[in-house]
C-alpha cells in the first residue's frame, strides 16, 4: 500500500490526510459529520414548514395564502448567504432578548442549532412549492373518498395524502436535500466548523490547498452520489403499485 | 401577473397599508446616516456584481452548448467527460470550487517563473479572474445538463427534414437545432440566471468587492447590523425582479 502511494507521488498527501493527529483526516470527517447533521436537521425542519405551508397555500384563507406567497417569493429572490446572515442575527437577538427578559444572561447558541434554524427557514420556502405541486397531483377522488368515510383531516393527511403524494414529491425533495448539503458550506462564512471551513483551516495551515480542497470535494461528491442512489430507491418504493411511466402499460 | 384590480381586494389593501407603515417605521427609526458616505463604494460594488453575473452567464452558456451537445449526441469519449464534469460541478458546493481555484491555483502559479514574467501576471494576482472562472464553470455545469435535455427535446422530424434538403450539419445546428433548443429552455434559463445572481455574493469571500462585500464593510465599520443587510436584500430582490421581467419580455417576443 505504502509502495503504491510512494510511486504515485501521493505519499505526502496521504500523510496529510491520515486520521491520526499529524494528519487532518479526522478534522475533515468531523466537519463532514457536522455538515450532515445540519443538512438533515435543516431538511427535516424545512419539510415541516413545507408540509404546513403547502396545506396553508392550498386550503388556507386569503390572508394566509398571501403571507405564504410573500415568504416563498422573498426567500427565493435573496441570496442564501444574505438570508443566513439576517436569520442568524435575528435568531440570536431574539433568543438573547427572551433570556434577558426572563432574567437569564446571554445565551451562547450552538452552531448546529443555529445552522438548522437558518437553513431550515430557507429550505422551507422551496419545500412548500415542491409539496404543493405534489399534493395537487394526487387524484382528488382519493381525498374525497377519505372525507366521505368521515376520516378526520389529520388522519386523511397521514394515511391518504402523504403516501399518495410521495411518488410525485420524491424527485423534488431529492433535489432539495442536495441543495441542503451544499448550502451547509455557506455556514463556513458565519464561522461554523463544518466541512468547508475545516478544510480551509487545514489547507491554510499546511499550505496543501489542492490536496485538502480536492479531498473535501471528493467527500461532498460521495454524499451526492450516495444520496442519489438512496433517493432512487425511495422513489421506486414510493411508486410501487403505480404503472411505470416509461414503458407501455401493455 | 398581478394586475391593479387583483391588488384592490380589501385584505390586500390592509396588508399594503401595514407594509407601508413598516417601511415608514424602518425609514424613521432605523439608522440610515451611513448611506451617503458609502454610496460611491456601493455603486462600484453593484457594478461589480452586475458585470460578474452578466459575463459569467454569457460565458457559461457558451460553454454549456458544447457540453449539452456532447452529452446528447456525442460519442462516448466526449459524452463521458462532459457528464462527469456536470456531475462534479453539481455535486460539490460552489464555495469550495471558488476556494479551490483561488487558493489552489493562486498558490500554484507563483511557483512558475515563466508565469510570473508573462503579460497575464498582473491579472492573475488579482481575485476577480478566479471568481469569473469559478462562476463560469459552475453555470456551465448546471446549464450543460439543461441543454442536454433541450437538444434531445427538439423534434426529430425537423432535423431529418433539414438533412433531406441537403442542409449542411453546421447550418442545420445554427438555424434549426440551437434556436429551438434555446426557446424551449428559456423559462429554465431565467431561473438559472437568478440562481447565478444569488451565487455572486460568494466572490466576496475571495476579496472581490461586490455589493455584498460593501454591506459587510459597513457592518464591520459602523457595527450597524440590520440596516445594511435589509437594504442588500432589497437590492437583490430588485435585480431578481428585473431579470424575471427581462426574460418574460424576451419569451413574449419569440415566436412560438
CATH code, domain with B178:
1.10.3720.10
Within a domain: residue A130? yes
Confidence (pLDDT) at B202: 92
B205 has a pLDDT exceeding 50: yes
Within a domain: residue A179? yes
**Residues of chain A positioned with their CB less than 8 A from the CB of B225:** 89
Average of per-residue pLDDT values in chain A: 85
| Cβ neighbours, 10 Å, residue A107 | 12
| Cβ neighbours, 10 Å, residue A45 | 20
B195 has a pLDDT exceeding 70: yes
Within a domain: residue B11? no
Give the span between the Cα atoms of B199 and B176, in whole angstroms.
33
**DSSP secondary structure letter of residue B2:** -
A105 has a pLDDT exceeding 80: no
Confidence (pLDDT) at B114: 78
Within a domain: residue A72? yes
Give the span between the Cα atoms of B52 and B64, in whole angstroms.
17
| Cβ neighbours, 10 Å, residue B129 | 16
Q: What is the mean pLDDT of residues B75-103?
A: 91
Give residue ranges of B with CB < 8 Å to any A CB. Answer: 9, 11-12, 15, 87-88, 90-97, 99-100, 103-104, 107-108, 194, 197-202, 205, 212, 225-226, 229-230, 232-233, 236-237, 240-241
Q: Judge: B11–A62 Cβ closer than 8 Å, yes or no.
A: yes
C-alpha cell at A211: 490536496
Which residue of A63, A82, A188 is in closest CB contact with B236? A82
ipTM for this prediction: 0.84
| Cβ neighbours, 10 Å, residue A57 | 21
Within a domain: residue B154? yes
Within a domain: residue A18? no
Q: Judge: B229–A216 Cβ closer than 8 Å, yes or no.
A: no
Q: Judge: B212–A189 Cβ closer than 8 Å, yes or no.
A: no
Confidence (pLDDT) at A8: 61
Which residue of B15, B99, B229 is in closest CB contact with A213? B99
Within a domain: residue A178? yes
Q: What is the mean pLDDT of residues B118-138?
A: 87
**Residues of chain A positioned with their CB less than 8 A from the CB of B212:** 79, 81-82
Q: In a 10 Å sphere around its CB, with 0-12 CB exposed, 13-18 middle and 19+ buried, how is residue B56 labelled?
A: buried
Give the span between the Cα atoms of A112 and A42, in whole angstroms.
10
Q: Which string of DSSP letters, residue by residue, matches B151-213?
A: HHHS-HHHHHHHHHTT--HHHHIIIIIHHHHHHHHHHHHHHHHHHHHHHGGGGGGGT---HHH
What is the value of pTM for the model shown?
0.87
| % of chain B at pLDDT higher than 90 | 39
Q: Assess contact for B98 and A196: CB atoms under 8 A.
A: no
B1 has a pLDDT exceeding 60: no
Within a domain: residue A89? yes
B62 has a pLDDT exceeding 90: yes
Within a domain: residue A160? no
Within a domain: residue B14? no
Smallest Cα distance from A42 to chain B, Å: 17
Within a domain: residue B3? no
| B73 — pLDDT class (breaks 50, 70, 90) | confident
B4 has a pLDDT exceeding 80: no
Q: Judge: A79–B100 Cβ closer than 8 Å, yes or no.
A: no
Confidence (pLDDT) at B12: 82
Helices (H), chain B: 4-7, 10-29, 35-73, 76-91, 94-99, 106-108, 113-116, 121-124, 128-153, 156-164, 169-172, 178-199, 211-222, 226-253
Q: What is the mean pLDDT of residues A210-228?
A: 90
Count structural domains, chain B. 1
Count structural domains, chain A. 1
Give the span between the Cα atoms of A25 and A199, in whole angstroms.
10
Confidence (pLDDT) at A250: 38
Within a domain: residue B13? no
pLDDT tens digits for range A70-83: 999 899 889 988 99
| % of chain B at pLDDT higher than 70 | 98
**Which CATH number is A197's domain given?**
1.10.3720.10
A238 has a pLDDT exceeding 50: yes
Q: Is A3 on the interface with B (CB under 8 A)?
A: no
Name the least confident of A8-17, A241-250, B156-165, B208-217.
A241-250
Which residue of B9, B104, B237 is in closest CB contact with A74? B237
Within a domain: residue B171? yes
Q: Assess contact for A184 and A178: CB atoms under 8 A.
A: no
Within a domain: residue A210? yes
Give the span between the Cα atoms of B137 and B64, in whole angstroms.
9
A13 has a pLDDT exceeding 80: no
Q: Judge: A213–B212 Cβ closer than 8 Å, yes or no.
A: no
C-alpha cell at B200: 455572486
Give the span between the Cα atoms of B116 and B120, in whole angstroms.
8
Confidence (pLDDT) at A248: 45
Domain span including residue A122 = 40-138+170-238
Give the span between the Cα atoms of B231 and A207, in whole angstroms.
38
Q: What is the mean pLDDT of residues B106-135?
A: 83
Q: What is the mean pLDDT of residues B101-117?
A: 81
Domain span including residue B150 = 34-253
Closest chain B residue to the Cα of A186, Cα to Cα: B95
Smallest Cα distance from B93 to chain A, Å: 5
Q: How many CB pairs under 8 A join A and B?
A: 106
Q: Judge: B104–A78 Cβ closer than 8 Å, yes or no.
A: no
Give the span between the Cα atoms of A205 and B86, in whole angstroms.
31
Confidence (pLDDT) at A5: 60
Amino acid at each position: 500500500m505504502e509502495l503504491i502511494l510512494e510511486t504515485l507521488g501521493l505519499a505526502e498527501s496521504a500523510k496529510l490526510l491520515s486520521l491520526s493527529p499529524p494528519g487532518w483526516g479526522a478534522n475533515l470527517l468531523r466537519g463532514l459529520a457536522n455538515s450532515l447533521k445540519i443538512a438533515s436537521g435543516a431538511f427535516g425542519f424545512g419539510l415541516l414548514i413545507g408540509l404546513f405551508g403547502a396545506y396553508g397555500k392550498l386550503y388556507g384563507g386569503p390572508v394566509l395564502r398571501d403571507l405564504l406567497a410573500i415568504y416563498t417569493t422573498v426567500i427565493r429572490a435573496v441570496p442564501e448567504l444574505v438570508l443566513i446572515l439576517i436569520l442568524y442575527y435575528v435568531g440570536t437577538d431574539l433568543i438573547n432578548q427572551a433570556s434577558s427578559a426572563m432574567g437569564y444572561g446571554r445565551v451562547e447558541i450552538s452552531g448546529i442549532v443555529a445552522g438548522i434554524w437558518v437553513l431550515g427557514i430557507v429550505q422551507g420556502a422551496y419545500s412548500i412549492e415542491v409539496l404543493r405541486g405534489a399534493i395537487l397531483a394526487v387524484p382528488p377522488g382519493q381525498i374525497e373518498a377519505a372525507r366521505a368515510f368521515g376520516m378526520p383531516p389529520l388522519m386523511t393527511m397521514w394515511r391518504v395524502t402523504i403516501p399518495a403524494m410521495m411518488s410525485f414529491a420524491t424527485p423534488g425533495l431529492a433535489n432539495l436535500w442536495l441543495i441542503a448539503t451544499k448550502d451547509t458550506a455557506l455556514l463556513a462564512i458565519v464561522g461554523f466548523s463544518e466541512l468547508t471551513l475545516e478544510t480551509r483551516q487545514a489547507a491554510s495551515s499546511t499550505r496543501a490547498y489542492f490536496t485538502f480542497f480536492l479531498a473535501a470535494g471528493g467527500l461532498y461528491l460521495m454524499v451526492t452520489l450516495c444520496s442519489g442512489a438512496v433517493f432512487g430507491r425511495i422513489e421506486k418504493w414510493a411508486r410501487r403499485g403505480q404503472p411505470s411511466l416509461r414503458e407501455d402499460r401493455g | 401577473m398581478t394586475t391593479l384590480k387583483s391588488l384592490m381586494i380589501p385584505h390586500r389593501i390592509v396588508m399594503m397599508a401595514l407594509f407601508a407603515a413598516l417601511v415608514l417605521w424602518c425609514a424613521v427609526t432605523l439608522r440610515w446616516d451611513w448611506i451617503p458616505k458609502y454610496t460611491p463604494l456601493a455603486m462600484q460594488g453593484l457594478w461589480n456584481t452586475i458585470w460578474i453575473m452578466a459575463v459569467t452567464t454569457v460565458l457559461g452558456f457558451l460553454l454549456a452548448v458544447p457540453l449539452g451537445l456532447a452529452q446528447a449526441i456525442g460519442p462516448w469519449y466526449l459524452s463521458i467527460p462532459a457528464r462527469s464534469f456536470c456531475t462534479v460541478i453539481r455535486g460539490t458546493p460552489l464555495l469550495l470550487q471558488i476556494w479551490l481555484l483561488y487558493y489552489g491555483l493562486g498558490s500554484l502559479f507563483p511557483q512558475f517563473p515563466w508565469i510570473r514574467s508573462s503579460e497575464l501576471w498582473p491579472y492573475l494576482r488579482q481575485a476577480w479572474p478566479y471568481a469569473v472562472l469559478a462562476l463560469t464553470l459552475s453555470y456551465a455545469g448546471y446549464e450543460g445538463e439543461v441543454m442536454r435535455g433541450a437538444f434531445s427535446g427538439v423534434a426529430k422530424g425537423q432535423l431529418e427534414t433539414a438533412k433531406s434538403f441537403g442542409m449542411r450539419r453546421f447550418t442545420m445546428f445554427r438555424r434549426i437545432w440551437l434556436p429551438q433548443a434555446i426557446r424551449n429552455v428559456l423559462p429554465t434559463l431565467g431561473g438559472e440566471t437568478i440562481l447565478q445572481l444569488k451565487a455572486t455574493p460568494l466572490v466576496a469571500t475571495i476579496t472581490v468587492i461586490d455589493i455584498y462585500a460593501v454591506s459587510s464593510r459597513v457592518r464591520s465599520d459602523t457595527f450597524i447590523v440590520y440596516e445594511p443587510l435589509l437594504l442588500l436584500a432589497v437590492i437583490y430582490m430588485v435585480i431578481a425582479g428585473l431579470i424575471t421581467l427581462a426574460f418574460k419580455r424576451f419569451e413574449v417576443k419569440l415566436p412560438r
